């Protein structure tokens, strides 16, 4: 049974029915109960919660109006409120949001997990370098090593106890967006689009990501891993503004096409990792599909413009400092010209935690992943 959990559609439908039944027994969100002991987060700006604040970079969001709907105000989160991983941490039963790596130096508050995500970063090391400093996926893994060493230290140098603990955590990884918008599709600054076709680029990205995820599995004991696919980047207001939508589409189709090639590779990678690493479970979250459905929901009335004013000194992506954003933020799909509003984050987090359609996640959703007994 276990070895046939693939992202292959035929099997996936069957599993969706199977797990939907068990889901209704357990209830929608498992409020009050901690589902897993720890949650570790790797990613770029959409998951970043302050790791870039002290770095010399334009890719930071620690000023108003970022955080206008967040209890702590501006924190470094690239939204008006909570990120997708903040909302998932609530669903998993955590009382506090997972701390940024930047805030855990000294190893005090690491037991419930750490967020390593860094705005502008990518799977590839050079991705995002035009905006300044950032922590690439390899750098995030090196930071995780620091966390793991201090965890071992806190457990009386008992490495097997630390591995056992790390086996039970959930790991979220959401990299790849910047490898497109802050690399491949900036041909004046990066050569990748002259070296690789979109198919070749998706393949080299997936191969590098695969090595990084295997490091997480082999060296650091990750066994429950959720991989977030890319959204329709060709529809982001900053991308449409800089590239120009054509052919009657509201989006830049060739960018969405390239993103979908990568997403398909990522799905294949999930199947392959599940086949090869049978004591672990990897899942794919279909952000592209979930977010596309959100854009046709009547509650999202503005899907093609940012809620906050953006300025050219921020390459027309980030909110201008101290400018008043739109009042009806829940009706906006985008918060700034690239990042999603809290309302959209909520929509995506809901369906990644409890899939509502067999295409939302595969082979299982995050609530199933949390409940899964791997041994």
- Which residues in this chain contact ligand NAG in the complex, by CB under 6 A? 28-29, 158, 160-161, 164, 210, 246-247, 252-254, 272-273, 276, 311, 313-314, 320-321, 346-347, 350
Residue 138 near residue 212, CB atoms below 8 Å = yes
Residue 126 or 138 with smaller CB distance to ligand NAG? 138
Residue 126 or 242 with smaller CB distance to ligand NAG? 242
Residue 141 near residue 132, CB atoms below 8 Å = no
Residue 104 or 182 with smaller CB distance to ligand NAG? 182
Q: What are phi and psi of 319, to 5 degrees?
A: -65, 145
- How far, in Å, are 2, 7, 50, 267, 374 from residue 365 at the CA level? 15, 12, 27, 14, 15
- How far, in Å, are 56, 80, 139, 340 from residue 307 at the CA level? 26, 9, 32, 10
Please tell me whether residue 283 adopts helix, strand or coil conformation. strand
Residue 14 or 257 with smaller CB distance to ligand NAG? 257
For 26, the token pair is 């357990």
Shortest distance in whole angstroms from residue 105 CB to ligand NAG: 26
Shortest distance in whole angstroms from residue 246 CB to ligand NAG: 4
Shortest distance in whole angstroms from residue 311 CB to ligand NAG: 4
Q: How far apart are CA 176 and CA 174, in angstroms?
A: 7
Q: Is 271 a catalytic residue?
A: no
Shortest distance in whole angstroms from residue 272 CB to ligand NAG: 4
Helix 287-295 × helix 342-353 angle, to 10°: 130
Shortest distance in whole angstroms from residue 350 CB to ligand NAG: 4
Q: Is 130 a catalytic residue?
A: no
Please tell me whether residue 10 adopts helix, strand or coil conformation. helix
Q: Which is the catalytic residue, given 136, 144, 339, 352?
A: 339
Residue 29 or 154 with smaller CB distance to ligand NAG? 29
For 50, the token pair is 């302050």
Q: How far apart are CA 120 and CA 249, in angstroms?
A: 27
For 107, the token pair is 């190893």
- DSSP for residue 308: S
Residue 41 or 294 with smaller CB distance to ligand NAG? 294
Q: Is 138 a catalytic residue?
A: no
Shortest distance in whole angstroms from residue 275 CB to ligand NAG: 6
Residue 322 near residue 56, CB atoms below 8 Å = no
Q: Which is the catalytic residue, given 69, 86, 336, 360?
A: 336
Active site residues: 45, 336, 339
């Amino acid at each position: 049974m276990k070895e046939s959990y693939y992202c292959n559609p035929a099997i996936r439908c069957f599993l969706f029915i199977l797990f939907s039944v068990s889901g209704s027994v357990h209830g929608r969100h498992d409020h009050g109960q901690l589902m897993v002991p720890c949650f570790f987060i790797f990613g770029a700006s959409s998951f970043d919660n302050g790791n870039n604040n002290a770095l010399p970079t334009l890719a930071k969001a620690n000023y108003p109006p970022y955080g206008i709907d967040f209890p702590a105000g501006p924190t470094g989160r690239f939204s008006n409120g909570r990120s997708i991983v903040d909302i998932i941490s609530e669903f998993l039963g955590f009382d506090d949001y997972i701390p940024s790596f930047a805030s855990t130096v000294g190893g005090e508050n690491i037991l419930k997990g750490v967020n390593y995500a860094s705005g502008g970063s990518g799977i590839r090391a050079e991705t995002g370098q035009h905006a300044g400093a950032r922590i690439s996926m390899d750098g995030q893994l090196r930071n995780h090593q620091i966390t793991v060493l201090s965890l071992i230290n806190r457990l009386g140098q008992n490495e097997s106890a630390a591995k056992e603990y790390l086996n039970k955590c959930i790991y979220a990884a959401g990299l790849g967006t910047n490898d497109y918008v802050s690399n491949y599709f900036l041909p004046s600054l990066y050569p990748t689009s002259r070296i690789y076709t979109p198919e070749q680029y998706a393949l080299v990205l997936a191969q590098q990501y695969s090595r990084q995820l295997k490091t997480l599995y082999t060296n650091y004991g990750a066994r429950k891993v959720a991989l977030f696919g890319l959204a329709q980047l060709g529809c982001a207001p900053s991308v449409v503004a800089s590239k120009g939508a054509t052919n009657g589409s509201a989006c830049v189709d060739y960018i969405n096409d390239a993103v979908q090639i990568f997403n398909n590779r990522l799905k294949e990678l999930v199947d392959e990792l599940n086949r090869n690493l049978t004591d672990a479970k990897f899942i794919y979250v279909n952000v592209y599909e979930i977010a596309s459905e959100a854009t046709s929901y009547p509650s999202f009335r503005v899907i093609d413009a940012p809620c906050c004013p953006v300025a050219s000194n921020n390459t027309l992506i980030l909110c201008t400092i101290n400018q008043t954003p739109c009042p009806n933020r829940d009706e906006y799909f985008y918060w700034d010209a690239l990042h999603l509003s809290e309302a959209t984050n909520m929509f995506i987090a809901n369906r990644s935690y409890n899939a509502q359609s067999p295409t939302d996640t595969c082979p299982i959703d995050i609530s199933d992943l949390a409940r899964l007994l791997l041994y």
